[in-house]
Structure formats: C-alpha cells, structure tokens
Amino acid sequence: MSDPKVSQAIADGRVPKEITAEYLNETRDASAIAGILFVTVLTSIIVLGRLASRAFLMHRFGIDDALTFVSWLGSGRHFAYIQYVLDMPTVEDTEVLDFIAHILYTTALLLCRISGLAFYHRLCAVHDRLRIAILVVFGVLIAGYLPQLLLIVFHCMPVTGLWPYEWQPGFEDYTCLQWGLVYVVNSSVSLVCDFLLFGIPIVMLRVLEMPRKRKIQLACILLPGISVIAISIARLVLVIEGQWNMDMSWAYNPMLVIEVSEIGGTLIALSVPGFKPLFDKFILQRDITQGEGTGKSSKPQQSSKGGTALRSLNFRPEHDVLTSRDTSAEGTKLRFFLAPIAIMKLLSLSLAAGLIVNQGASAKPNNKDEPLFSYNANLLPLEKNVGSSDLFPMAKCNGFKLEEATFTEMQNAMKAGKLTSVQLLTCYLIRTYQTEEYINSVMQINPDAFAIAAERDAERAKGKVRGPLHGIPFTVKDNFATKDSLETTAGSWALLGNIVPRDAHAVKKLRDAGAVLFGKAALSEWADMRSNDYSEGYSARGGQVRSAYNFTVNPGGSSTGSAVGVGANAIAFSLGTETDGSVINPANRNALVGIKPTVGLTSRAGVIPESEHQDSVGTFARTVKDATLVLDAIYGIDKRDNYTSAQKNKTPKGGYAQFLSKKNALKGATFGLPWKSFWVHADEDMQSQLLELIDLIKSAGATIINGTEITNYETLVSPDGWNWDYGTTRGFPNESEYTYIKVDFYRNIETYLSEVENTNVRNLQDIIDFNKKYDGTEGGYPYEDGKGHPAFASGQDGFLASLETNGERDETYWQALEFCQTSTRKGINDALSYKGKKLSGLLIPPQVAQAPQIAAQAGYPVITIPGGYSKESGIPFGLGIMQTAWAEAELVKWASAIEDLQLSEDAPSKRRLPKWLGYLERNVPVPF
C-alpha cells in the first residue's frame, strides 16, 4: 500500500504496533486469487450449463433464470479486489471501491435468493401453504436486505456525516462507521435469510408429492445450501476476529474467497436442478442404434421377405388397402368383403350348438321336431320408415324382446329357459350384420364367441351362474388387449398381427364374471392421440363410425364404436377408455349411461396407453343399473397398475350396485350448477331442455344452487370449446394438459410395444414411419397437395408433437402436471362445498366438452345419463354429474334416482331409440 497518510500515521506512532509498513506490503495474494478463480470458474460452468439447458435446449427461460444470470454477472465484482491483493491502493480509494463493491455484492446476494424463491414458486405455485411460505420468505428477504443496502450507503461521513466514530488509520478528514459493524449486521441478516431459503426445499420434500428424481434434484440444493450457511457463519466469525482488532488486511485475503464462495455456493445450489436437461441430453442421450428414445428397435431388422405383421397375413407391402387414396372407409372395404363369410361361419357354429336360424318360423323350444330358435328380422332398411326408429327394426330373439333389454331381463329369460347365451349372441350377431354396413361400430367379431357362450350355457345348466353378467355379450374398444383370436390395433394397420402377452385386466375380470366377448369395437384411431384435426370416430382399419341418431355429424369419441354399438342395440354393453372425454363424450352423444371412474378405480393394465395420470377404463350401457353392474365387475386393485392401490379403504364393500336408488331419494338432495364455468357454453336449445329436466329434479324434492363455480374457471376452462392445450394458447405451456400427455404417450407406447410380439413396430418413430409409408390410408402427412387422408386433416401432428418431447419429463412437464391436477381438484372440491355445505354433486352439460375435461385432468369421476335431443341434428345430449375422487357411490345413487324419475314421469329427456337420420350419407370427415 502506498498511501502517504497511512505511512505518516505509522511514522507518528498513531497506529497499533502490529500494523507496520512491512506488514501492509507483505505478499499474501496466492491463496486469495486462486480461491477467487476456482470458485468463479466452478460457478460459471454450472450457471452457464443451467442457462444453456434451459434457454437453448428446453426453450423455456423463466424469471428465476434471469435473476440467476444477473447474480452471476454481479459476482464478477470480486475480480476488482484482486488489485487490492496485488497492489493495495490508498485508503480513500479502497473505501470508494469497497462502497461500490459491497453495493453490488449485497444486491447480487439478494438476487440470488430471489431467484431461488422464483424457482421454488414455479414448482409449487398451486400449493397454497407453500406459496404463502415462499411469499413470507420473500418479504423477509426484502426486509432484511434493504436495510443492508441502506447501511452501506449511509455508513460513511463523506456521504452523510451522521456517524461520528473513533479514529482509524488514514481517516483524519472524515469518520466512518466501523466496517466491522456493517459486516456483522450484513452477515447476521444473510444467515437468517439463508436458513429460511434453504429450509424451503426440506419442507417441499416433506409436503409435495413428486417423483423420486424431482426429490433428488431438490435434495441436491441442500448440500451446497448448507455450505452457504457455513460460509456465512465463517464470514461472521472472521469479521468479529479481524475487523474488531482494526486489522484491515483481512478484507483482501481469505475474506475475498469467502465472499466469492457465498455467492457462488448459492448460485450452484439453485442451479443444480436446471442443469439436469443438459446432462440428460449430452450424457444420458440414448443411442438410436440401440432401439431407445426416438430410434429404431434394438432387435435386428428383419429382411423385407418376411417377419412383419403384414407379411404374416400374406399382405403384399403395397396392398391397395394400405396405399389407396380413396376417401371412403378403406378399412371397411376389406372387412366387409369377408363379413358375410364370417357371419355364415358363426351361424354354422350355432347349428352345431343345436340352433336353427329360420326366418318366419315359430318358436316351440320344447318340440324337438321344430326349430329351437327363430328370428324374424328384415335385414334391409325399410324405406317407408325413413326418419323413424323403425328404419332398422329389431326382431324378437326367440320370442324375447331384446331391443332395450336390461341385464336383469336377459338373466330372467335365461333362468326361465326361454333364452340361452348362444341364442342371445346369435341375435346380437344378426343385429350387427343388419346395421354394421351403416354404423360401422364393430372392428372385428370374435371367432371364439360361440364356444364361450356355449360354455356359459353349460355352466348354467349345471347350476353355476357367475353373476349378473353371466352369458351376456359385450364388446371392448380396440385398444384393450385380448389373448385370443382377436387383433389389438387401436384402429391402425401398423399393429395388425401383433400378439399380446395377456388379456387386459378389465377383459379378464369380465370373462371371470361370465360375460361373453363378442368382439372389438371400432374407435377413433389411436384414441385421438395421433392428430389434432381429425374426423371423430375414424380409423384406417375400421373406417368411419357413425351415430345411429345422425350419420352426418360427430358421433363422439374416441370410444366411438363402443357407444354407437350399445346405442343402436347391436350389443348389450361395452368398455371404453378415457384420457379426456372419450367415455363421457360418446355416451352423451348416443343417449347412453357412461361412467368415467376415478383414475385408479379400474385397472389400465393391457390397454394401449396414453397417460397414466388420466387414462381410465369406463363403461357404456343403456341404464344406470347395467353400467354399474359392469363397473362392479371390473374395478379393484391390480398389481400391474400401481395407481389402483390408491383405492384401498376407499371403495364400498359389496360394490356400487347397492347404491342404486329410486326417485324418492332425490328428496333433500342438493346439487350445484356451475353456470359460468360450463353452462354458459351450451346452446339455447340444450340449456332449455336440460333446465326442464333440472326443474323435474327440483319437483322431486331436490335443491338446486346456481353459481357453484369451479375455482379459477377463467384460467382452466377454454371459452372456445374443448382444448387440451389451452395453457399454451394462453402463453403458459406449464399450465397445459397437452404438455404432459404428449410426454406420457411417448414413454408409455414404447413400454407397451416392448411386450407385444410378431411386430417390428417398437416405438413412436416406427408408427410415424409406417403412417408416412402408407400415407393414402394412414394419413401420414397433412391432407393437402395430394397427400394425406381427409379423415386426418393435420396428418399425425399429435404423434410428431409427442416425438419432439423425446419423453423428457422436464420442469415444465412437472409444473403442467401439478397445475392441472391441483387446480382442477381444488376447483371441483371448492364447488362441491358451497358455503360450508357439502353438495350431492355438480350437474353439468357433458356436451360442453370443457366440463368432463376438468374432471379428466383432476382424475375425478363423472357419470352421464340421457338428457335431451338436439332439435337441429337429432343427436342426443346428456346430463352429467361430477363428484370428487372415489365418490362413484354418490354418482350411482343420484343418476339412478334421476333416471327413475325420467321413466316414471315419461320425461322427454329419457333415452329414446335412434331415428337413423342420414343413413345413406358417407361424408368424411364428420363435423367436429
């Protein structure tokens, strides 16, 4: 140091004896400079890695990243201190530089900590208590650091003249508040703030439900965070020991490293989680040559001479079915070329079972010389009955009125010996043959169906009846695996010929209950995951499914064939799946009862998946009782679906059918009407008819409360219709359902395909490539410029969006998942608790697709029953009831009571037979 005032003070003996010129000029720079460089480089690498991974790889850059960046730049002020170590300036210069440096230092520390809070807020902004805690800590930070800045600004007389204090070397012209006091105050406040800041991850780890990887990330904050607290303590000790003894030299040696380390440690702690995407991309990136990620299968590629699903079925690679650009239902052409043969084969099996199909013959089952079975159907539509339900009349089944028959009525007929399961199956088979060319609801008929039905009849003859579903035929959506002669393809030619390892759990449960699998129902291809602009109910393999109520409009989906078949009396009941509306929507549009249960009540094992967070197996039937009996047969814990373990101690002993009720149960019930949330989006015709039904419910003694809104519905409910990417539409992908669904699909489809055999389709990339190769049928490209297929206007943009994610569950993924689940659950729960009163349920218009969408995001149950019919199109619409998790018993109770009220009052809203409007139309696409 070459300050003449200090030199004179030493010469005059006005300084402590230990402070000599030689002492002040000693070289002690090596450790300080090395420490500064090491901590700064380490911090820079980690912070820049975080910024690169977030801003350039993930394309998402939040306020916490910006604050971290500014803090990192601010930490660079420590390089100015190197000059003190190498050549200490005058005391006055030192004071000026110290003043500026400490302003930057304290500001950098403040921004560091605020960036941490911003990061925590992004993780748990929808968790009320944690959000409040974060805001409190933010307030403490501001309250703590602002006085620090003020103390630095006003501590010296050249600025204020307010602080007379004892003399220090070189300070004859002015007096300053001792730096030691400033440091002690600053260090103490920082220490308190650090304890609060790094206590938040501990609370989050204990309170929030999150994946193990996320917990590890938060835990990684704690180790450097503890180090930061230790550094603050060390700094405080050095301040007391050094500055209080008037030894100025400490400020330019170990203290510099400590200050650098404090900021660096904080930045490192808060940057570890953001560093993960970069690590995943460049270190853990899966080798596409090994069949992982977006690449090809790890199995050797088979030659073009054999091995593919198409080759195994003797299809030529360029078969017309896969290359035609015909706008009709291509899949239907091949299927119905073979349909008459299949029908005759199945009918011949019925003869072997002792049955005779004889149109016009009378039924005398006790006379062995006459037919045991008669069916009087006219299989052709009767032109004189166009526009009425008699266009496709359904004849009696061996004297039994099968049309609209309930399970109880079927069981009574079989118990009385008036009907057998084989006869019942045959009647549904002929009904399918009568209507299939028009409604196209069945993807494939089960060749084993008659053998199964004969076994059920044999069991009944021996006195064994498995339950209320014994001997009753059903279909399942073509995304349920069945270990039999049926295909499982999700409506795509890409999966034709694949062999599944076992029955889906729900299918096995129905088999065990004695039901007879009739076949696979058609669906919207890949359950609507493949495209965002498509024809609902269309699949390349199955063609366009059409509602028997109106052939020209959207029949509802994606469980289209399941609903249409039951609605047209072509099958007794069916299973479907829902990720977002795919059970409730088609049930609502086909005058059915549809139950979408709580996620985890019914196992999804063996179902071609979309998202484990929202996928649910639901039921379709014509009455609440029948739909409930099916639910009773399939719900339960399954070791292959971990989500089902959540139902333990939350489901009723003895099932849900015990909660079926009559109209008098409505007396004293209280229902909420979330008008602004959903009802305002219904058209006047729908509102008018549904409000008539609600008035009928009120007349039965129920109370209706209008305005029981979903909390924050303005943020959750799109005003422009169903939109599962509504968060992104508003500019917040971290609040979008689609953000996590497309990631889940990428991961889950690869897992599913890893278990199937006899196919080279192993991942999403393989499916996309197949669709492009057979573009004319599968619509691999958008429908324009001679490419694509009209049913898939946007090509396979849904698949491409999923592929782009590479299955990475990044921060935005978890934020979106938590936002959608937490906010919708809170919204529904709040609406169900009106002014502290627990409501019986929320009445919703399920035709307004945003309503079941909110329940889907929450994973909550919904039931829909017939509620009316559009005056313009004739398409039905339902009245839905929404409830909280595991409240299916409530839904069954109130839906069955309302249904009984409709029937007893002969209300116009009750289920009616379809009128087959536009039955000769074949438009593709159907209006959405």
Q: Say what the pLDDT of residue 618 is.
A: 98
**CATH number of the domain bearing residue 192:** 1.20.1070
Residues 439 and 584 in one domain: yes
Indicate whether 264 and 373 sit together in one domain. no
Q: Is the pLDDT of residue 728 over 50?
A: yes
Domain boundary among 244, 276, 308: 276
| 563 and 690 inside one domain | yes
Between 63-75 and 254-282, two packed helices, what is the crossing angle to 10 degrees?
140
Question: Residue 249 — very low, low, confident or very high, per pLDDT cuts 50/70/90?
Answer: very low
Buried b (16+ CB within 10 A) or exposed e, 80-94: ebbebbeebeebeeb
* Same domain as 388, residue 269: no
User: Cis peptide before 75, with omega less than 30 degrees from 0?
Assistant: no
User: How would residue 722 be classed by pLDDT, with cut points 50, 70 and 90?
Assistant: confident
- Model pLDDT for residues 479-513, shown as the tens digit of each residue: 999 999 999 999 999 999 999 999 999 999 999 99
Q: Classify residue 409: in a domain, yes or no.
A: yes
Specify whether 336 is located in the same domain as 442: yes
* Cα–Cα distance for residue pair 219/448, rounded to 1 Å: 55
Most confident among 56-65, 227-236, 730-739 (mean pLDDT): 730-739
Would the pLDDT of 180 be above 70?
no
Tens-digit pLDDT profile for residues 218-237: 677 666 766 777 776 776 66
pLDDT computed for residue 35 by the predictor? 63
Shared domain for 557 and 454, answered yes or no, is yes
CATH of the domain at 338: 3.90.1300.10
For residues 96 and 190, state if they share a domain: yes
CB 560 within 8 A of CB 791: no
The yes-or-no answer on residue 582 being catalytic is yes
- Please list the helix, strand and coil fractions of the chain in percent, rounded to the nearest 5, in that order: 50, 10, 40
Mean pLDDT of 682-698: 97
The answer to whether residue 650 is catalytic is no
Residues in the chain: 928
Q: Which of 53, 271, 582, 603 is catalytic?
A: 582
Confidence label for 4 from pLDDT (cuts 50, 70 and 90): low
- The model's confidence at residue 211, banded by pLDDT at 50, 70 and 90, is low
Catalytic residue, chosen from 115, 227, 441, 558, is: 558
Cα dihedral angle (311, 313, 316, 321), rounded to 10 degrees? -130
- What is the pLDDT at residue 721? 86
Mean pLDDT calculated for residue range 445-466: 96
Backbone angles phi, psi at 605, to 5 degrees: -60, 130
Of 665, 736, 553, give the one whose Cα is nearest residue 896.
665
- Reply yes or no on whether the pLDDT at 824 is more than 60: yes
Evaluate whether 493 touches 777 at the Cβ level (below 8 Å): yes
CA distance 866 to 908: 10
Contact 456, 516 (CB under 8 A): yes
**CA-based max dimension of the chain:** 139
10 found inside a domain: no
What confidence score (pLDDT) does residue 167 get?
Answer: 39
Is residue 443 predicted with pLDDT exceeding 70? yes
Q: Which of 624, 625, 604, 623 is nearest to 615 (CA)?
A: 604
Cβ atoms of residues 252 and 91 within 8 Å: no
Q: Which position has the higher pLDDT, 414 or 66?
A: 414
- Compute the distance between CA of residue 712 and CA of residue 7 in angstroms, rounded to an integer: 70
Per-residue confidence band for 476, with pLDDT thresholds at 50, 70 and 90: very high
Residue 914 lies in a domain: no
pLDDT band with cut points at 50, 70 and 90 for residue 22: low
Residues 231 and 339 in one domain: no
- pLDDT of 318 reads 31
* Angle, in degrees to the nearest 10, between helices 888-904 and 684-699: 90
CA 571 to chain centre: 31
| Separation CA 259–CA 318 (nearest Å) | 71
pLDDT range class, residue 131, cuts 50, 70, 90: confident
Q: What is the mean pLDDT of residues 263-270?
A: 68
**Any domain includes 847:** yes
Measure Cα distances from 876 to 280, 287, 586, 846 in Å. Answer: 50, 51, 10, 11
- 592 has pLDDT over 70: yes
401 belongs to a structural domain? yes
Shared domain check, 512 and 436: yes
**Predicted confidence band at 139 (pLDDT cuts at 50, 70, 90)?**
confident
The model's pLDDT over 881-896, given as tens digits with 9 standing for 90+, comes to 999 999 999 999 999 9
DSSP helix/strand/coil, 803: helix
Residue 285 has pLDDT above 60, yes or no: no
| Alpha carbon distances (Å) from 242 to 188, 340, 756 | 16, 99, 72
CA distances from 564 to 188, 244, 924 (A): 71, 86, 17
Do 561 and 547 form a contact (C-beta atoms < 8 A)?
A: no
HSE on the CB side for 477, CA within 13 Å?
34
Q: Which of 878, 876, 885, 881 is nearest to 914 (CA)?
A: 876
- For the chain, first and last CA: distance in Å? 82
Which of 222, 252, 276 terminates a domain? The answer is: 276
Percentage of the chain modeled with pLDDT above 90? 55
Q: How many CA atoms lie within 13 A of 306 on its CB side?
A: 1
Asked whether residue 920 carries a pLDDT value surpassing 60, the answer given is yes
Choosing from 245, 276, 307, the residue where a domain stops is 276
CA distance 144 to 664: 64
Tell me what pLDDT residue 251 has.
Answer: 44
Within a domain: residue 298? no
SS3 862: strand
- Tally the domains of the chain: 2
Mean pLDDT on 524-551: 96
Check residues 148 and 134 and name the one with the higher pLDDT.
134
- Pairwise CA distance, residues 897 & 301, whole Å: 58
pLDDT at 58: 46
Least confident of 21-30, 582-591, 852-861: 21-30
pLDDT score, position 727: 86
The predicted pLDDT at position 323 comes to 33
Confidence band of 50 (pLDDT split at 50, 70, 90): low
Residues 538 and 636 reside in one and the same domain: yes
Which tops the pLDDT comparison, 315 or 771?
A: 771
More reliable by pLDDT, 679 or 94: 679
Concatenated DSSP letters for 448-461?
THHHHHHHHHHHHH
Find where tokens 């620090």 sit.
148
CA distance 847 to 590: 11
Task: Find all residues with CB under 8 Å of 80, minimum gap 6, and list them.
Answer: 97, 101
pLDDT digits (tens, 9 = 90+) for 784-810: 989 999 999 999 999 999 999 999 999
Please tell me the least confidently modeled range out of 72-86, 266-280, 857-871: 72-86
Q: Which two tokens stand for residue 796?
A: 């396979």
Q: Among this protein's residues, is 374 annotated catalytic?
A: no
Q: Is 21 domain-assigned?
A: no
Tokens of 884: 């909280």
Q: Do residues 425 and 453 make contact, with C-beta atoms less than 8 angstroms apart?
A: yes
Set 276, 296, 477, 663: catalytic member: 477
Q: What is the dihedral of CA 888, 890, 891, 897, to 10 degrees?
A: 140
* Residues in a beta bridge with 918: none
Q: What is the pLDDT of residues 343-398, one digit of tens each?
A: 444 444 444 444 433 333 333 444 444 444 445 556 788 778 888 888 999 989 99
In whole angstroms, give the CA distance from residue 563 to residue 477: 10
- Mutual orientation of helices 407-415 and 421-439 as an angle, nearest 10°? 140
Segment 649-675 shows an average pLDDT of 97
CA 894 to each of CA 633, 660, 678, 926: distance values in angstroms, whole numbers, following the listed order: 20, 8, 20, 34
CA 532 from centre of chain: 16
Candidate from 138-147, 301-310, 374-383, 682-691 with smallest mean pLDDT: 301-310
Whole-angstrom CA distances from 810 to 61, 436, 842 are 13, 46, 35
Q: Does residue 287 form part of some domain?
A: no
Give the pLDDT score at 278: 52
Q: Are residues 213 and 330 in the same domain?
A: no
- Residue 841 shares a structural domain with residue 703: yes
Q: Which range, of 294-303, 399-408, 752-761, averages the lowest pLDDT?
A: 294-303
Q: What is the pLDDT of residues 600-624, one digit of tens each?
A: 999 999 999 999 999 999 999 999 9
Q: Which domain holds residue 482?
A: 320-722+818-904
